[in-house]
Amino acid sequence: MNHPLASLVGPLRYACRGDFAHLSTVKDLRGLLERAIAGATGVDAEALKHLRAALPHVDHPTPDRRKAALRRVVAGLKLSGVSLPEELAQVATSSPLEPTAAASSGEGRGEALPERVPEWKSTAPVPPPPGTRTDAPRAVVEGYLSPQAPRPGAVRRPNGPMLASAPAHAIPPARAPAAPAARVKPAPAPAPEEKPAGKRKKRTAKGQEESRAEAKLLSIAPRSGPLAIPLKTMGKRLGPRLLAALNKKGLRRVGDILFLLPRCYEDRRKLQTIAELMPGERGVTVGEVKMADFVPGRTGKRYFRAVVADRSGSIAATYFNAGPWLKQRFPVGKRLVLSGEVRASLSGREMAHPEIEPAEDLEGSSVHFNRIVPVYPGFERGDQRSFRELASVVSESYADNLEEPLPEGLRKKLELMTLPEALRFIHFPPGDADPEMLDRHLSPAHRRLAFDELFFLQLGMGLKRQGVKAEKGITFDVSAPRLEKARGALPFQLTGAQSKVIGELCEDMGHPEPMNRLVQGDVGSGKTAVAVVASLLALQDGYQVAVMAPTELLAEQHERTFRKLLEPLGFKVALVSASGPARRKREIREAVARGEIHLAVGTHALIQEGVAFEKLGFVVIDEQHRFGVLQRQTLMSKGVFPDVLVMTATPIPRTLAMTLYGDLDVSVIDELPPGRTPVKTRVFNDKQRARVYESVASEVQKGHQAYVVYPLVEESEKLDLEDATRGADKLRQVFPGVEVGLLHGRMKPEEKDLVMDAFRAGSIQILVCTTVVEVGVDVPNASVMVIESAERFGLSQLHQLRGRVGRGAAVSYCYLVANLARSSMESSERLGVMEHSSDGFVIAEKDLEIRGPGEFLGTRQSGLPELAVANLARDGDLLSLAQQEARRILARDPRLEASEHQGLVKALEERWEGRLALARVG
């Protein structure tokens, strides 16, 4: 055994034996692993990465997390080429190195962390029920769809009041988006079979959270037709227990049941013996009840425990917070079928809250056995059977009442199921379906619904795009002399990428319709220079420019940059701020309104009621994802269809850009200016901080400067994080004779200005700060970025902070100091990505994969329908196909007037009500 990691096999074999029965007796396992990994030379880098990611959890106080980490370690050893005995190899097999969404949320094979995220959050298998409005008139106005076009110059908030100064084609809102949307045909309303009532189980915090979330997702109810039939009118046979559970989850109509999709599936086509059941997996078995009674738990509280056995062994069924009625369901000597997740306990195998059925049910046709069975989100195991029977009745009796929204030619071309077929397949898959593809939401039926979501999203985007192009805007003079004068204001040569993007901006600005363009560029790529040139083109034509930034620090920096470049050319620049003397603020706003100030820079202060422009023609929105849709809309409304340039230094993955900005033209600055040097990134644990300080001292001695970023301003009792205030005091002791400054968002503007001026001037060598420096701060002499508690930050935020250094010619460093004991596997993975990549777009793709699109850029503010089935990190190819087909249809029929497209019109109304006008501002 000459492999560098072979010495770990013995201790791991002992620790994992008997389903980790000896885990608590193995001492200093983490230290043993750390030493072995540190001395492992020539071992596969990928294997080492997984081993290091698992290390922080090997000594975690939670047993489940320790077990999950050890499974990861064994899998890493297998990947590295270590020869494993059979029992360890099985442990490795039960722990894939790349967990699925279900695994990461606590479902699947048991290697997930115990802090579980409901599956509907990560894999989004639960769309809202369909909107089925049949009474709303339809109209296409200026390329938009509208059930009732409001008065010109007004727009509604989704579910809110009218707002002034919006496009005339804005459409009124209704409800949250329906997915998938379809029309309904008449049908009878059979009632499901009665379910026996029983006492309600006490809801766990997790269950209550799922219920609340479901109610939010399923807030739309069909207004007419069979799918709008209230469930409570379906007769007493529905059962009071199930009806109460449905009401609590906001499921009140037949359509709600049809569009609540399963979160996962159990393969019950084959019964297992009890000996074949594997801990961490779901299984179905049959056995005879040997014992059933209430027994005392460790805390003294009683719980119900039944032992079921067959010839191969026995398993316990355990129920917590159960009533005395449960004992009647486990008569000793009766043969029962148990189904659920198997886990190991001190006394052997057990299932917590399994579904149980009489064994005689196996003989006949059943929705519960001899098939692939759906498991629905938010229902405890005892309610799954009742809901499954209801879903069976609804899907068989009502699915055919859905009218197919996709044109037949498109559906056949793409070989997509019909909508009724897809819903029946998803609720009760046929016998030859692939359970793994179903669980991963990659079945043909899931693909159909995912395509629906993405296609109608792109179709709505395409209509908005047409609407923008139809508006009458400003035709700017972008002739060669004007452009040359604008470029001449810059004291440096533009890169090829900057010149290309400016050319695209000129193309847009020279056309009569309003420009609506997004410019993406990695940290330090020179987006501000592009904005300066475009602003000068507008200024030379006599129009005012507004530049909106998310923070006062960034707004102040923009004001200094624009003032320095534009005032020598005769254009006046001012900062519109919410802070400062009232008289000064009033004077600036009056000057903006009179047109005396040509370019106004500000934060949210720009969109306040008291700010007006004489002739606003060009709007620049920096770090646009920090602003809500209505805020951006309000700024645009201060001009008459101004050209809009939105910029972001947060690289956006292609799939997310296509979704969020399908109506925007997108430009990318994919080249750094000359003189910028790559930043070397290293991850350290908090016990290695002294090495970080040595590097900081070395850079300071060379005349360079450093940032030290903390996640908190002051000490928090709830979070064990070192705050910036204490950090500054400590660093003053660590670096005697070095000037240490403190900067955070709670300081007054004049205090922040003094600190930043001193840092820029070099009189402050080390700046201790919070994420207030995340964007826009430009100090070329700073060569070190230290990020404390780095495990607390997201990937994009870490990348933004790292971008504050490397802005000069000196070699720069970023040190990520993490508390590994507090880190999750996900945060360890994030830090590893930062260490090995400096490409913002690679990082953004990984961030989307880890966090999902809902959190990536705050897409809840985007004004777009939420995706319930499609997954942007997974369905990039489907998104491209959806966009291609949507644009092809609009190219042929821009106003969707053809008879074959009326189903599309109806579906768009249901999905986009109240959103088409607002979302156009990016």
For the chain, the average pLDDT equals 75
Q: Is the pLDDT of residue 907 over 60?
A: yes
**Mean per-residue pLDDT, 257-279:** 86
DSSP letter for 191, please.
Answer: P
Separation CA 663–CA 650 (nearest Å): 19
Separation CA 417–CA 451 (nearest Å): 11
Helix (H, G, I), strand (E, B) or coil at 663: coil
Q: What is residue 591's predicted lDDT score, i.e. its pLDDT?
A: 94
* pLDDT, tens only, 277-310: 988 888 889 999 999 999 887 777 888 999 999 9
**480-511+526-648 matches 679-837 in fold:** yes
Give the sign of the dihedral formed by CA 808, CA 809, CA 815, CA 816. Answer: positive
Question: Where is average pLDDT lowest: 126-135, 519-528, 529-538, 698-707?
Answer: 126-135
Q: What is residue 120's predicted lDDT score, i.e. its pLDDT?
A: 27
DSSP letter for 478, please.
Answer: -
What residues contact residue 163 under an 8 Å CB cut-off, 6+ apart?
Answer: 154, 155, 156, 157, 630, 633, 634
CA-nearest of 411, 422, 413 to 444 is 422
Separation CA 5–CA 43 (nearest Å): 9
Architecture of the CATH domain 679-837? 3-Layer(aba) Sandwich (3.40)
Q: What is residue 176's predicted lDDT score, i.e. its pLDDT?
A: 31
Q: What is residue 652's predicted lDDT score, i.e. its pLDDT?
A: 67
Largest CA distance in the chain: 96
Q: What is residue 675's predicted lDDT score, i.e. its pLDDT?
A: 66
| Cα separations in angstroms, 799 against 52, 368, 428, 524, 827 | 22, 49, 45, 11, 14
Q: What is residue 213's predicted lDDT score, i.e. its pLDDT?
A: 32
* pLDDT, tens only, 632-683: 567 777 877 889 898 877 666 666 666 666 556 788 887 777 767 778 999 9
Give the sign of the dihedral formed by CA 274, CA 275, CA 280, CA 281. Answer: negative
Q: What is residue 315's predicted lDDT score, i.e. its pLDDT?
A: 94
- Region of 526 on the Ramachandran plot (φ > 0 left; ψ -120 to 50 alpha; else beta): left
Query: How deeply is 56 buried, as exposed, middle or buried, from its count of CB atoms within 10 A (0-12, 13-18, 19+)?
Result: buried
What is the per-residue DSSP string for 491-540?
SSPPPHHHHHHHHHHHHHHTSSSPPEEEEEE-TTS-HHHHHHHHHHHHHH
Residue 623 or residue 662, greater confidence? 623
For residue 785, count other CB atoms closer than 10 A to its CB. Answer: 24
Residue 65 — very low, low, confident or very high, per pLDDT cuts 50/70/90?
confident
CA-nearest of 429, 424, 432, 426 to 446 is 426
Q: Are strands 599-602 and 544-548 parallel, antiparallel or unpaired?
A: parallel
Q: Is the pLDDT of residue 883 over 80?
A: yes
Q: What is residue 819's predicted lDDT score, i.e. its pLDDT?
A: 81
Q: Is the pLDDT of residue 368 over 60?
A: yes
Q: Is the pLDDT of residue 347 over 80?
A: no
The distance of Cα 452 from the centroid of its chain, to the nearest Å, equals 20
Residue 531 or residue 610, greater confidence? 531
Domain residue ranges of the chain, discontinuous segments joined by +: 6-98, 480-511+526-648, 679-837
Separation CA 598–CA 596 (nearest Å): 6
**Beta-strand (E) ranges in 686-803?**
705-709, 740-743, 766-769, 782-788
Q: Are strands 516-521 and 665-669 parallel, antiparallel or unpaired?
A: parallel
Most confident residue range from 40-49, 122-131, 207-216, 687-696: 687-696
Helix (H, G, I), strand (E, B) or coil at 317: strand
Separation CA 354–CA 371 (nearest Å): 17
**Mean per-residue pLDDT, 174-201:** 37
Helix (H, G, I), strand (E, B) or coil at 433: coil
Q: Are strands 544-548 and 402-403 parallel, antiparallel or unpaired?
A: unpaired
For residue 734, count other CB atoms closer than 10 A to its CB. Answer: 14
**Mean per-residue pLDDT, 771-792:** 82
| Cα separations in angstroms, 875 against 98, 651, 659, 663, 878 | 18, 19, 12, 20, 5
Q: What is residue 171's predicted lDDT score, i.e. its pLDDT?
A: 27
Question: Where is average pLDDT lowest: 176-190, 312-326, 533-547, 731-745?
Answer: 176-190
CA-nearest of 210, 196, 323, 299 to 260 is 210
Q: What is residue 739's predicted lDDT score, i.e. its pLDDT?
A: 93
Residue 260 or residue 30, greater confidence? 260
* pLDDT, tens only, 71-95: 888 888 888 888 888 778 877 765 5
Residue 121 — very low, low, confident or very high, per pLDDT cuts 50/70/90?
very low
Q: What is residue 145's predicted lDDT score, i.e. its pLDDT?
A: 37
Most confident residue range from 141-150, 377-386, 452-461: 452-461
| Cα separations in angstroms, 828 against 112, 122, 659 | 15, 19, 29
**Mean per-residue pLDDT, 771-788:** 81
Q: Is the pLDDT of residue 101 over 90?
A: no
Give the sign of the dihedral formed by CA 287, CA 291, CA 320, CA 382. Answer: positive
Q: Is the pLDDT of residue 754 over 50?
A: yes
Q: Is the pLDDT of residue 150 over 50?
A: no
Q: What is the 3-state secondary structure (H, E, C) of 214-240?
A: HHHHCCCCCCCCHHHCEHHHCCHHHCH
Question: What is the pTM assigned to this prediction?
Answer: 0.54
The distance of Cα 309 from the centroid of its chain, to the nearest Å, equals 45
Separation CA 120–CA 441 (nearest Å): 12
| 408-440 as b/e: b if 16+ CB within 10 A | eebbeebebbbbbbbbbbbbbbeeebebebbbb
Percent of the chain with pLDDT over 70: 73
Question: Where is average pLDDT lowest: 137-141, 496-500, 882-886?
Answer: 137-141
**Fold of the 480-511+526-648 domain:** Rossmann fold (3.40.50)
CA-nearest of 689, 629, 621, 609 to 649 is 621
Q: Is the pLDDT of residue 206 over 80?
A: no
Q: What is residue 717's predicted lDDT score, i.e. its pLDDT?
A: 52
Residue 883 or residue 866, greater confidence? 883
Separation CA 215–CA 829 (nearest Å): 33
Q: What is residue 141's predicted lDDT score, i.e. its pLDDT?
A: 28
